[in-house]
Amino acid sequence: MEAYMRRSRITITLDSNLLKQVDRIVDKKKIRNRSHAIEYILAQYTQTSVKKAVILAGGRGTNLRPYTYEIPKPMLPVKGTPILEHLINELKKNGITDIIIAISYLGNKIKEYFGNGEKFGVSIQYSEEKDNLLTGGALAKLKSKLQHDTFLVIHGDILTDMSFTEFVQFHINQGAVATVALSTSDKPTDFGQIKLQGARLKKFYPNTEKTGMKSHLVHSGIYAFEPSIFKYFPTDKKRFALEDVIRKLIDEQNVNGFVFEGQWFDVGDPKNYERAIKEFPLQPQK
């Protein structure tokens, strides 16, 4: 079942002939009424042309032990639903239905739950790692599947209600090789911090470097990439982080930042997991 979408009541005026065309698609089954028909038409028009996303779900989740001794981090429940399922539902809502999940630690539990994605209204393939290749190495394995179209890459421990449609449209309009989605945080030193100049990324401070407070903008673990991104991957090693690639793109002024409003949780440690459980909205089912 699809997650309930928050709605706002509006009043509009339409040409009478146009309204007759709208009424013709009301079949009382798929399209229930005039309001639903208008919503359906707008959804078709506004959905992104990008259909493919890679979800990086291979981490061991050591900071969340003992929870992750038996459950992979992306499968930890929030409001009774695995984090990864929340993410897939958001992608589907934005018309992104061709999904590759990169798995490693306890990956079989992810495969058993989601299967080929049919019951979730999406298509799911899997890329399995025996060794920890980090985020860049995991994506490099998928080069042959991602050489033709714009695609998204998302960390599998992310909860967000960001509009992926708006994100992709921004990325396409700006014309860079990569775009990083950015959120804000009152504790930015817990995350990778970003400095922007206009839409361009100018500096990236990974949280692993203990750089102190540099910016309230933080890296959200969500990317939009052109297929040419693979030209920037190192050729001499299989294990590397996407953050290293982003730094190279910053040097070449070929990566943008998209600051979004809305909820975002990086469920990487017990403190953030507890916060997500308390604050992430329960979305009633239709």
Q: Which domains does the chain have, with CATH numbers?
A: 18-45 (no CATH), 49-279 (3.90.550.10)
Lowest average pLDDT, out of 28-32, 71-75, 187-191, 197-201, goes to 187-191
> Could you tell me which residue, 116 or 265, shows the higher pLDDT?
116
Q: What percent of the chain has pLDDT over 70?
A: 80
48-75 pLDDT, tens per residue? 677 899 999 877 655 556 556 677 888 8
Categorize the per-residue pLDDT at 223 as very low, low, confident or very high, splitting at 50, 70 and 90. Answer: very high
42 has pLDDT over 60: yes
Categorize the per-residue pLDDT at 43 as very low, low, confident or very high, splitting at 50, 70 and 90. Answer: low
Categorize the per-residue pLDDT at 231 as very low, low, confident or very high, splitting at 50, 70 and 90. Answer: very high
**pLDDT value of position 35:** 82
Pairing of strands 151-155, 255-259: unpaired
How far lies 222's CA from each of 34, 69, 182, 228, in Å? Answer: 36, 26, 8, 18
66-99 pLDDT, tens per residue? 556 677 888 888 888 999 999 999 999 888 999 9
Buried b (16+ CB within 10 A) or exposed e, 68-90: beebbbbbbebeeebbbbbbbbb
CB-based contact 157:83 (threshold 8 Å): yes
104 has pLDDT over 70: yes
The mean predicted confidence, pLDDT, of the chain is 81
Categorize the per-residue pLDDT at 31 as very low, low, confident or very high, splitting at 50, 70 and 90. Answer: confident
Distance CA 283, CA 5 (A): 8
Q: Which helix (H) or strand (E) holds 14?
A: none
E strand segments, the chain: 52-57, 77-78, 81-82, 98-103, 123-128, 151-155, 158-160, 178-184, 193-197, 200-205, 217-225, 255-259, 264-266
CB-based contact 268:64 (threshold 8 Å): yes
Q: What is the DSSP letter of 70?
A: T
Lowest average pLDDT, out of 26-40, 104-118, 195-209, 219-233, goes to 195-209
Distance CA 179, CA 224 (A): 5
Place of tokens 């953030």: 272
Q: What is the DSSP letter of 7?
A: -
3-state helix, strand, coil in the chain (%, to 5): 35, 25, 40
Distance CA 224, CA 170 (A): 10
**Rounded to a whole number, what is the largest CA-CA distance in the chain?**
64
Q: What is the DSSP letter of 86?
A: H
CB-based contact 59:52 (threshold 8 Å): no
**pLDDT value of position 66:** 55
DSSP letter string over 79-90?
TTEEHHHHHHHH
**pLDDT value of position 176:** 92
242 has pLDDT over 80: yes
139 has pLDDT over 80: yes
Structure tokens belonging to residue 265: 């949780």
Q: What are 225's strand-pairing partners?
A: 151, 178
186-204: average pLDDT: 67
Distance CA 275, CA 169 (A): 30
174 has pLDDT over 70: yes
Categorize the per-residue pLDDT at 19 as very low, low, confident or very high, splitting at 50, 70 and 90. Answer: confident
pTM of the model: 0.76
Lowest average pLDDT, out of 73-87, 157-171, 187-201, goes to 187-201
